[in-house]
A and B are shown apart, each in its own frame.
Chain A
Amino acid sequence: MALHEERPVSQPLDTLWYTRCPVPTGLGIAVQKGWLDETVGALGTRVQSLRESANQAVRESHFDHTLQNSVRHGGNIPAIWARAQGRQTRVIGLSWADEVQLILTRPDSGIKTVKDLKGRTFGLPDWRNAQIDFTRAQALRGLENALKLEGLDVRDVQLVDYRYGGTFSDNPVQEIAGTPFSASANSHRADGRNAELLGLLRGEVDAIFLKGSSAAQLAHDLNLYTVIDTGSHPEPLIRCNNGTPRTLSVDQHLLDQHYDVAVGILDSVLRAEQWAAQHPDDTRRYLARETNSSEYWVRVAYGEDAHLRLATALDESAITALQDFTAFLHRWNFIPQPFDVRDWIDTRPLATLRSANAALAG
């Protein structure tokens, strides 16, 4: 690791690519408020959204992080996978916004508690053509953690795969009414959407996993029964999943050649998060747009204090959880090899910002 005292050299950068998941992230707010643009714009860099690109290879970089000079804030599974594949990326921040993570059943299934899942069927998504099937990994994690609480393991339930065709980046994301929206959602593909949920409604399986505001809303709309919400368990390792913590990552090239841009990104993210902490109402509206759900469902899924949950830092508890989750992904063969997440984390941009702020305060 380079010396902390010395600020690396920084070359001018023409274009910074950014991407974030449709979930609560500081980067998302920084983009929406124009602060990312403003901060790196001052360094002569323009920003471009990667998921809105017409080029599928560019869009796929949201998942495989192949694009040089790009930043991503979102679910950690694709980020961990890309790193394990040998991609030269670094984590410069972690954020932890707890969200509902639900094991759902039908009211007539006879399942009331996690213990009742024993010997029953559980529907899992199966995106066979995707490079990294984060939907399957997060559902499996939710299931395993739920079962663990009762001394059960995944072998105790019968897994049923729901196949999806295509990949996660087949269609560009468009921004409509402030909402990132993928056109694929409108198509009537035979493989459909929410296949495991349909399977649950049809009685093919007894339980499924869904998370976030759409989970809360669908559970309500379809009269489903929540067996457990692992997202509200007191133990962080039980809550730990794709979104807990979320990774703020950049490619190594950006850090090496355009260090000031990397610091600028983090600066705009922290500014957005500080703004959010003081603007609960505007933040809730933003989150509603970002997740394409109502402000009420945002509150149900992310809590009354959603605006306070956007803090990006490098907390010990988040690092521990990230390591635990990386081991999980390896154990289930989602990644080819485990690694030490501390080697992946680069603390310099955060340290640079903090010392700059301390200097200002002093």
Chain B
Amino acid sequence: MSSLETLWYTHSPVPTGLGIAVQSGRLAEAFRPFGTNIQSLRESSEREVREAHYDHHLQNSVRHGGNIPAIWAYAAGVETRVLGLSWSDEVQLILTTEDSGVRTVRDLKNRRFGLPKWANVQIDFTRAQALRGLENALKLEGLEVRDVELVDYPYGGTYSDEQKHHLYGSEVTLNNGRHSRRNNELIGLLRGDIDAIFLKGAHAVQLANEFGLRVVVDTGSHPDPLIRANNGTPRTLTVDVNLLEEHFDASVRIVDTVLRTEQWAWANPEETRRFLARELNTSEYWVAAAYGEDAHRRLRTNFDERSIHCLQDFTDFLHRWDFIPRRFDVRDWIDTRVLEHVIGATTRRAI
């Protein structure tokens, strides 16, 4: 097994064990004795490298984050494997204004629903997750997406046009006078152009609060996991096959670090909430509002049957809506060897 010179890592600005392992320095520490250089791919000055957060084309890279780009990359033929799944329930809100007259999911029938549409991206995860939230909400009342009028809010460019920087743990874009567009559907809703939108996570609750928006439904708190399943439920921890085959020890080290970080989080709610606030670029208050007072306990990477089942269901959803070119069996994508190796080598703590 050859030594690994550079490990590329990337994590979405959401609660992940890998994200906290990076922020707390645990990942760098784990690889330091082996002389491996740890590099953040989203902070690269090259757009091509940054785009690997979405298409996973970079050799010797690990990614922990939303499953949509990971599912899409695998469906598109990129050779990756899932080493673990984490499930941090978060709020997933269908929002309306006070004066729209919409109160319940049933009221959405024949109303206008705003969806983001990123015209130039390889995989539009923002649109896919909004559509999932909408479809699942409607399903609860026997309605379908056909029953509402979809209004597209176009965005130019791609998600990786701008180099990311980390300031106080938050991933931000330091654009020099360039004016990027964001939250176009929200602005449309506030202007009264449409009747409802989908937003999720800490920013959703914060923005809903800022403008006194009404929550029609939070599919993220529904008892049925298939209703909650979306881009972030479950999140995928993935590596490329080269890393797995040529640097199995490095793959073990990654998973081991993620699991140890998560165990640390379970015992340190306060510090974990701060890490999450930095990761999400929000306040600790909004972290608790979006991810629960027990956000620290929701960080656990494993291969629960429930997560696998939901990942399959969600893959089928993405295929049905033409976000991915082919359907596949997620069990062929999952590689349990690394996790089994780590758990076998570690004294298991009774939780």
- Which A residues lie at the B interface, using CB under 8 A? 107, 176-179, 181, 185-190, 192-194, 198, 201-203, 214, 218, 220-223, 225, 284-285, 288-289, 291-297, 299
Contact = CB atoms under 8 A, between A and B. Distances in A.
A213 B211 CA distance: 16
A293 B182 contact: no
Contacts of B214: 188
B170 A176 contact: no
B336 to A, nearest CB: 36
Nearest to B98: A188
Nearest to A223: B181
B183 interface: yes
A213 B154 CA distance: 29
Q: Which 4 interchain pairs have the tightest Cβ spacing?
A: A179-B285, A295-B168, A296-B170, A192-B212
A297 B288 contact: no
A193 B277 CA distance: 24
A145 B285 CA distance: 34
Interface in B156-203: 167-170, 172, 179-183, 186-187, 190-192, 203
B286 interface: yes
Given A107-B179, A201-B191, A295-B168, A177 B273 contact: yes
A295 B169 contact: yes
B61 interface: no
B187 A289 contact: no
Contacts of B280: 294
A178 B282 CA distance: 14
A176 B287 CA distance: 11
B283 interface: yes
A177 B288 contact: yes
A295 B170 contact: yes
B187 A201 contact: yes
A193 to B, nearest CB: 5
Contacts of A285: 274
Contacts of B209: 185-186, 193
A295 B278 contact: yes
Contacts of A223: 179-183, 187
A223 B181 CA distance: 6
A193 B293 CA distance: 26
Contacts of A202: 190-192
Contact of A295 (B180, B181, B277, B288): B277
Given A284-B168, A294-B281, 15 more contacts: A107-B179, A176-B285, A177-B284, A185-B209, A188-B98, A190-B98, A194-B210, A198-B211, A222-B187, A289-B283, A292-B285, A293-B282, A294-B280, A296-B167, A296-B281
A181 B210 CA distance: 13
Interface in B226-281: 273-274, 277-278, 280-281
Given A198-B190, A223-B183, A295-B277, A176 B210 contact: no
B285 A289 contact: yes
Contacts, number: 96
B207 interface: yes
28 contacts: A176-B288, A177-B273, A178-B285, A179-B283, A179-B285, A187-B212, A189-B212, A192-B212, A193-B210, A194-B211, A198-B190, A203-B191, A218-B210, A220-B182, A221-B183, A222-B183, A222-B187, A223-B181, A285-B274, A292-B283, A292-B285, A294-B278, A294-B280, A294-B283, A295-B170, A296-B170, A296-B172, A299-B168
Nearest to A220: B182
A102 to B, nearest CB: 16
B300 to A, nearest CB: 21
Contacts of A220: 182
Contacts of A187: 212
B284 A192 contact: no
Contacts of B274: 285
Interface of B: 98-99, 167-170, 172, 179-183, 186-187, 190-192, 203, 207, 209-212, 214, 273-274, 277-278, 280-288, 293
Contacts of B211: 192-194, 198
Nearest to B192: A202
Nearest to A191: B212
Contacts of A107: 179
A194 B287 CA distance: 22
A284 B203 CA distance: 20
A194 B208 CA distance: 12
Contacts of B169: 295
A177 B285 CA distance: 5
Contacts of B283: 177, 179, 288-289, 291-294
B170 A294 contact: yes
A201 B281 contact: no
Nearest to A293: B283
Nearest to A181: B285
Nearest to B202: A294
Contact of A221 (B182, B284, B285): B182
Contacts of A295: 168-170, 277-278
Residue of B273, B280, B284 contacting most chain A CB atoms (<10 Å): B284
Nearest to B214: A188
A189 B281 CA distance: 28
A107 B274 CA distance: 34
B286 to A, nearest CB: 7
A8 to B, nearest CB: 42
Nearest to B203: A221
A211 B348 CA distance: 51
B91 to A, nearest CB: 14
B111 to A, nearest CB: 18
Contacts of B273: 177
A218 B203 CA distance: 11
A217 B211 CA distance: 14
Contact of A201 (B190, B277, B285, B288): B190
Nearest to A187: B212
B121 to A, nearest CB: 19
A354 B314 CA distance: 67
Contacts of B98: 188, 190, 192
